[in-house]
Structure 1
Amino acid sequence: MTVSARAAAEATPAGRDRYTDLLRVASLAVVVCGHWLMAAVSADGMGNLLAVVPALQVLTWGLQVMPVFFFVGGFSHALSYRSLERRTGGPVYALFLRARLQRLLRPTLVFVLVWASVALAVQLAGRGDGRLTGAALRVVTQPLWFIGIYLAMVALTPPLLRLHERAGWAAFAGLAGAAVLVDVLRFAYGVPYVAFLNFAFVWLAVHQLGFLRADGRIRVPAALAAAGLAGAAAAVAWGPYPLSMVGMPGEKVSNMAPPTVALLCHGLWLVGAVQLAAGPAAAWLRRPRVWRGVVAANGVAMTAFLWHLTAMLCVYGVQLALGPELPEPASGAWWAQVPPRFLAALATTCAFVALFRRFEAPARPGPAAVPRRAAGPLAALGTVLCLLGVLGLSTTGLGGLLDGHSATLVAVPVTAPAAIAMALGGWLLVERSAPARRVRLRG
């Protein structure tokens, strides 16, 4: 426990919603453990445990908790934007973007640059085509899709928050209805490319639930959970949707990419379920030791998320270097190695966190800016470029840096170098959305 984490825990305002901090950490922890479990690595390459043992796909109904993270994001974004408006009394869009993106983009871009350097060195040495090496360069950036979606949520918070304040539940219903329409056009009429709209409609609908929580308008969480669970079960049983709530290699339809109505229903039941646990969890979080642990974990959560797959790859690399053949995925010997492999991956992740956590540390508080009129559009453009760059990297991976390898982002081919350039350029624009004058924030 660091002194700064202890001090932050002791300085927590009495009115802070501690449960959302717990949900943020817990959801990322579940995702990390899920990725470690699903990584089915053998001497022949890297696969997915859920494809090896399809019966385990039902576990994704508990392990696919990204909707909880986006729900918490909506809650936090609503509070932050409103607070910034009250305290500055002026245009705050650029300020909001810079403040929310700083702790997200800095560790992300450091991760990208480190891995791009590794990938370039490996390919210059002529070793980028190995089965495991090639798989590592391909999959290590895949979790960045989450960063890209989250960037879009931050950028769209102000207009969607205004919509929420005017329409309440109707705003959520509009986004959910649009997601249903997209799936109808996709599956019933075969309209090309329309499915990609649900990257916005599905995740923004979940994000909108966070606004509703911020205003205390999720009053019957049991009904929300029951409706979502029933809807997801019906969609899988009678619709064109697969059982797995995460993407599976080779599947014709994925609930994740692009998102589907089945995944939206899954998100509804998760939101209802975590809301039901809010009361008991709030009492538990009042314990000083528990709260200090949550504060400390929140301070490094993004760094741990970014480097957790690298840690697992390191563990498998050491196993291969030591000589014994890796057991077949899902065999008895493979399951026996799961606990020590998890512990080794956790220790390695902690080492990466110790090395890179400085980039996630918040900047020292200082005077906030009331930006000039052009700052908002400049920050928005920068955010869009970052979004496209990060999503592009999650699609292309870092293999083929030198040979022009490309992948399709929606309907546009993109290469890894172009994606990196967009992300870096976008970050520079966000940082350059300079103020015209400064005011001192209170509180």
Structure 2
Amino acid sequence: MATDLRVLAERTPVTRDRYVDLLRVASLGVVVGGHWLMAAVTDDGVGNLLAVVPRLQVLTWLLQVMPVFFFVGGFSHALSYRSLRRRHPDRSVYSVFLRGRLRRLLRPTMAFVLVWGAAALVVQLFGGGGGMTGVALRLVAQPLWFIGIYLAMVAFTPPLLRLHERWGWGAFGALAGAAAAVDVLRFAADVPFVEFLNFAFVWLAVHQLGFLRADGRLRAPAALAAAGLAGAAALVALGPYPLSMVGMPGEKVSNMAPPTLALLCHGLWLVGAVELLKGPGARLLRRPRVWRGVVAANGIAMTAFLWHLTAMLGVYAATTAAGLEPTEPATAAWWAEVPFRIAAAVVVTALLVALFRGFERPGPAAAAPVPGTGPIAATGIALCLFGILGLSMVGFGGLLEGRTAVLVAVPVSAPAAVAMALGGWLLVERAGRGSRL
């Protein structure tokens, strides 16, 4: 394993932007660490430290780094799609592009969904589902929202890349302007349901910044960071936007679900900040040992992300089973326990990664596109997107009772969401296999 990793790292092309790989794994790492840090167990279940100590919500301006991951995705998607177009200029490459970009994402995700779905069914057949088990069945699927949004970004890459190639910053400006208009309609005109459009406008605008980076057009990162930070601060101070850049229990307005203009400004400042660090980051990654660590981490990052809440809740369940009473959150004793809880979660996550990492291995090289498979791939990714988003909302609890959650005005149950996700994935795989040259 160590030898394979060394060889893989040494074979990295000199043209590869290693800093992007660092940003990808670092952003997921910050999200995982933030979840572990902010989880607070009480007698009522698992809560959020930020709700217990609201003044700590300012930390989300550093810990909410999903915009960085989506920004990096835009950069990588642009390079990948253009590469396929150059190799197959006379064919539609959409289906092959989807399969290539989603293979390492959906295979570990489907493994996670099937394992948890089977476990939830067994638990409920035997009359379980209370206590920490019930909390786990409800919570472990929530981070899947991120994968659903990422699927949408991949799906819309070809048309949005064409808009970028024609309009450049104008394409980003149109998406940002649409996000602002949605918030005006939401908060000033009280138009119902319009806020859900910002799941597309806000995150696709951040994704569009990745296209701009791919073309070397992010030339003033300091100005971008300053404008984003000033905009977010002004919107929070003067508008109806909360301080937290993640969702808080019981809040009337969330910057996350659905996203707001304040979250888009937050994304701008984060993108500007990480671009300012590109020079030092690139120099650091010239060290062979550092680069090997990034390569190794990228090989397991998605698996670790999918299973990190399972590990955390497993640690809490073990302490509860051992008869240990939960420490009151945010007290000195609670903070003293934090390193031990995180260390235990790291160990359990490492065990789960060792068990499931095989699903994240890269597949074979892309095949030649087959004409007429684009509609099949588009149908597949749409089904997969709605299935995964639906599962993130409904969770694995209440399988036998028919529990549902509303997704775009449609009630979705966990079995239906799993069926859509699996069916969509199989369609994407079938359409993107192509033919061998």
Residue 224 of structure 1 is matched in structure 2 by 224
Residue 54 of structure 1 is matched in structure 2 by 54
CA distance in 2, matches of 1:293, 1:434: 31
1:40 paired with 2:35, answer no
Unmatched 5+ residue regions in structure 2?
none
Give the aligned residue type for 1:250: G
Residue 395 of structure 2 is matched in structure 1 by 397
CA distance in 2, matches of 1:342, 1:388: 33
2:51/2:248 contact within 8 Å kept? yes
Give the CA deviation at 1:132: 2.1
Give the aligned residue type for 1:315: V
Residue 438 of structure 1 is matched in structure 2 by 436
Give the aligned residue type for 1:71: F
Give the aligned residue type for 1:21: D
Give the aligned residue type for 1:370: P
Give the aligned residue type for 2:422: L
2:367/2:435 contact within 8 Å kept? no
How do residues 414-425 of structure 1 correspond to structure 2 at under 5 angstroms?
A: 414-425=412-423
CA distance in 1, matches of 2:43, 2:262: 35
1:395/1:407 contact within 8 Å kept? yes
Residue 174 of structure 1 is matched in structure 2 by 174
Give the CA deviation at 1:436: 6.3
1:9/1:291 contact within 8 Å kept? yes
CA distance in 1, matches of 2:369, 2:22: 32
2:246/2:256 contact within 8 Å kept? yes
CA distance in 1, matches of 2:39, 2:86: 47
How do residues 76-155 of structure 1 correspond to structure 2 at under 5 angstroms?
A: 76-89=76-89, 90-128=91-129, 130-155=130-155
Give the CA deviation at 1:317: 1.1
1:371 paired with 2:370, answer yes
How do residues 125-274 of structure 1 correspond to structure 2 at under 5 angstroms?
A: 125-128=126-129, 130-274=130-274
1:2/1:296 contact within 8 Å kept? no
CA distance in 1, matches of 2:26, 2:79: 21
Unmatched 5+ residue regions in structure 1?
none
Give the aligned residue type for 2:80: S
TM-score, normalised with respect to structure 2: 0.98
Give the CA deviation at 1:84: 1.1
Show CA shifts across 1:365-400 (max 9, x none): 3x6122122x11101110010000000010001110
Matched residue pairs, number?
Answer: 436
CA distance in 1, matches of 2:282, 2:225: 20
Residue 409 of structure 1 is matched in structure 2 by 407
1:372/1:434 contact within 8 Å kept? no
CA distance in 2, matches of 1:422, 1:334: 42
Give the aligned residue type for 2:369: V
RMSD, aligned CA: 1.1
CA distance in 1, matches of 2:169, 2:353: 40
Show CA shifts across 1:93-127 (max 9, x none): 00000101110000001001101111111111111
Matched residue SS, 1:438: coil
Give the CA deviation at 1:437: 4.2
Residue 31 of structure 1 is matched in structure 2 by 31
TM-score, normalised with respect to structure 1: 0.97
CA distance in 1, matches of 2:95, 2:313: 38
1:19/1:285 contact within 8 Å kept? yes
How do residues 290-329 of structure 1 correspond to structure 2 at under 5 angstroms?
A: 290-329=290-329
CA distance in 1, matches of 2:409, 2:167: 33
Matched residue SS, 2:256: coil
Shift in alpha-carbon separation, 1:99–1:436, aligned structure 2, 3 A: closer
Matched residue SS, 1:433: helix
Matched residue SS, 2:369: strand
CA distance in 1, matches of 2:55, 2:122: 40
2:99/2:433 contact within 8 Å kept? no
Give the aligned residue type for 2:199: F
Show CA shifts across 1:315-367 (max 9, x none): 111111111212122222211110011111011111111000000001133x6
CA distance in 1, matches of 2:320, 2:42: 9
Give the CA deviation at 1:292: 0.3
Instruction: Give 4+ residue runs of structure 1 displaced > 4 Å after superposition.
Output: 434-437
Give the CA deviation at 1:2: 3.1
